């Protein structure tokens, strides 16, 4: 490794340590502020004083995020500098002369190693902690099955994708990042189209919503906003979690509204309708399509940076490969992708928060039901032990929705129809039917 590269890596480590300390400091300050802001058990705008349990749980989430970040760099880095990556490459090619199969074997070994190394962390973070704080009923067997199914899908889909990317790198070494970035738009669209129909049902059971009265109410709202041919499903998420959610997903003929059964059990019809109105807002404002196109454009930018950085690293190191399109470079590409995503995620989250706020505005304009909007938001967040607001750095890097506090304050306040003011999204809503 050249001195130049060593300097770059050391600098990144120093910056990350400072970053982690800053996160912890801003979180402590935020905890103190919350205790100060919510001194009484009285309810402020519908938000109760955060419990000790919620504060503790939030702290575990912050630690989990920081540790996960470290692992996402350390594991591929270890595979890279130990020379293990080039060892797996040689092993894969020894087993088969078919290039695609070699990629498959390489990626299978790579994913198995990563999964095993990260297993204790995953188990603690996504199983033990969730049970400890009463957020999950999942059995260990279901957790293990989900893990194996996830691994299988990642290896199958991932190896096809990686084979495709590396072929592109070899064929058009100077412009692969541009071609791939442009192709990401149809690829993301295809995944969005296919996953609700073929991937999601692998993990949970989806069926048409059983409550006919609620279904009629939902269909009435769908008609009011002009969404046609949209099925409403419920999914048995209660076997995995006590948390609540509902969403609209898919594109073209895979579009559907999905409500977790936990949500149907814990929320009133009015509250469910508010959540779905928010989802319909995403749909009519084309947030899914905008997301797909933005994803493609961002990919071009990210792949460009990854290409530049990878060439720099390869030129200043000896990890057992000297071309970017050598499959042994995969851990390097993954490190660089993680690094780019880390740098860019505050911008992506900020855009997402903006879009989520638009959907909240739409929800209120469609339902004009501030009370149910507030109570659904409060139930959803307090049930998941989410704090009214997190520390600023944690928010920038992790919040793709406005904070709980921001959403409730807005939902309490926004009533333009009461003063005869024009609605922002009038054009999407058919006048009262």
278 is in an annotated binding site: yes
What x-and-dash track marks residues 378-397 binding Zn ion by CB under 5 A? Answer: --------------------
Q: For residues 76 and 333, is the Cβ–Cβ distance under 8 A?
A: no
Binding segment toward Zn ion, per CB under 5 A, in 17-25, 54-62, 268-276, 352-360: 352-360
- Which residue's CB is nearer to Zn ion, number 58 or number 282? 282
Near Zn ion by CB under 5 A: residue from 359, 373, 374, 429: 359
**Residues near 140 by Cβ (< 8 Å), separated by ≥ 6?**
127
Task: State yes or no: 357 annotated in a binding site.
Answer: no
Residues 6+ apart with CB under 8 A from 142: 239, 240
Write down the least CB distance from residue 275 to Zn ion, Å: 9
The interface region with Zn ion, picked from 122-130, 227-235, 349-357, 372-380 by CB under 5 A, is 349-357
Interhelix angle 269-284/370-383, nearest 10 degrees: 90
Across-strand partners of 207?
A: 234
Shortest distance (Å) from residue 281 CB to Zn ion = 8
Work out how close the CB of 339 gets to Zn ion at its nearest, in angstroms, rounded to a whole number.
28
DSSP per position, 113-140: HHHHHHHHHHHIIIIIHHHHTT-----H
Judged by CB under 5 A, the stretch of 60-68, 82-90, 205-213, 359-367 that binds Zn ion is 359-367
Active site residues: 279, 360
**Measured from the CB atom, is 163 or 362 closer to Zn ion?**
362
CB of 180 or CB of 259, closer to Zn ion: 259
Q: Where are the beta strands (DSSP E) in 98-221?
A: 206-208
The Cα 108–Cα 92 span in angstroms is: 10
> What six digits make up the tokens of 172?
């058009």
> Which pair of tokens denotes residue 34?
């919350």
The secondary element (H helix, E strand) that includes residue 91 is helix 84-95
Residues 124 and 54: their CA atoms lie apart, in Å, by 18
Angle at 58 between CA 55 and CA 62, to 5 degrees: 140
356 in a labelled binding site:
yes
**From CA 383, how far away is CA 167, in angstroms rounded?**
47
CA 267 to chain CA centroid, Å, is 24
Q: Let me know: does 263 contact 245? Beta carbons within 8 Å.
A: yes
Identity of the residue, 34 or 359, whose beta carbon is nearer to Zn ion in the bound complex: 359
Q: Which is nearer to Zn ion, 58 or 401 (CB)?
A: 401
Give the nearest distance from C-beta 282 to Zn ion in angstroms.
5
Structure tokens at 375: 């109570």
Task: Give the burial string for 59-73 (b: 16+ CB within 10 Å, else e).
Answer: eebbbeebeebeebb
Q: Give one DSSP letter per residue of 383-404, joined into a string.
A: HTT--SS--HHHHHHH-SS--H
Site stretch for Zn ion (CB under 5 A), options 269-277, 294-302, 351-359, 383-391: 351-359
Closer residue to Zn ion, CB minimum distance, 328 or 366: 366
342, burial (CB in 10 Å: exposed 0-12, middle 13-18, buried 19+): middle
Name the residue nearer to Zn ion (CB basis): 89 or 353.
353
Site for Zn ion (CB under 5 A): how many residues?
A: 2
> Does residue 274 belong to the site contacting Zn ion (CB under 5 A)?
no
Residues placed in the known binding site for Zn(2+): 278, 282, 356
Binding site for Zn ion (CB under 5 A): 356, 359
């Amino acid at each position: 490794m050249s001195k130049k590269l060593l300097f770059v890596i050391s600098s990144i480590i120093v910056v990350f340590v400072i970053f982690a300390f800053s996160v912890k400091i801003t979180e402590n300050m935020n905890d103190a502020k919350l205790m100060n802001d919510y001194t009484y058990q009285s309810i402020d705008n519908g938000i109760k004083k955060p419990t000790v349990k919620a504060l503790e749980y939030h702290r575990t989430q912050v630690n989990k995020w920081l540790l996960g970040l470290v692992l996402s760099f350390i594991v591929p880095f270890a595979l890279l500098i130990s020379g293990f990556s080039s060892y797996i490459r040689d092993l894969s090619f020894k087993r088969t002369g078919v290039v695609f199969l070699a990629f498959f074997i390489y990626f299978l070994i790579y994913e198995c190693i990563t999964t095993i190394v990260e297993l204790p962390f995953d188990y603690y973070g996504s199983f033990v902690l969730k049970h400890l704080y009463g957020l999950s009923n999942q059995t260990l067997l279901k957790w293990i099955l989900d893990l194996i199914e996830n691994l299988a899908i990642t290896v199958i889909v991932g190896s096809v994708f990686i084979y495709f990317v590396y072929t592109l790198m070899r064929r058009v070494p100077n412009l692969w990042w541009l071609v791939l970035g442009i192709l990401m738009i149809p690829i993301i669209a295809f995944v969005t189209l296919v996953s609700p129909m073929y991937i999601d049902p692998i993990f949970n059971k989806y069926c048409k919503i059983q409550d006919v009265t609620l279904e009629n109410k939902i269909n009435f709202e769908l008609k009011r906003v002009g969404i046609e041919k949209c099925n409403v499903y419920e999914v048995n998420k209660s076997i995995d979690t006590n948390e609540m959610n509902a969403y609209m997903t898919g594109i073209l003929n895979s579009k559907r509204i999905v409500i977790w059964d936990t949500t149907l059990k814990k929320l009133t019809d009015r509250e469910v309708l508010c959540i779905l109105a928010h989802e319909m807002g995403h749909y009519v404002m084309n947030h899914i399509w905008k997301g797909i196109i933005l994803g493609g454009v961002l990919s071009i930018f990210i792949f460009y940076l990854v290409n530049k950085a990878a060439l720099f690293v390869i030129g200043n190191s000896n990890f057992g490969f000297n071309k970017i399109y050598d499959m042994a470079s995969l851990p390097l590409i993954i490190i660089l992708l993680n690094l780019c995503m880390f740098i860019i995620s505050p911008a992506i989250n900020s855009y997402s928060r903006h879009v989520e706020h638009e959907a909240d505005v739409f929800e209120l304009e469609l339902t004009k039901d501030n009370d149910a909007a507030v109570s659904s938001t409060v139930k959803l967040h307090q049930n998941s032990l989410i704090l009214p607001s997190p520390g600023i750095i944690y928010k920038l890097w992790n919040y793709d929705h406005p904070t709980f506090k921001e959403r409730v304050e807005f939902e309490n306040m926004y009533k333009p129809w009461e003063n005869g003011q024009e609605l922002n999204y009038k054009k999407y809503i058919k006048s009262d039917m």
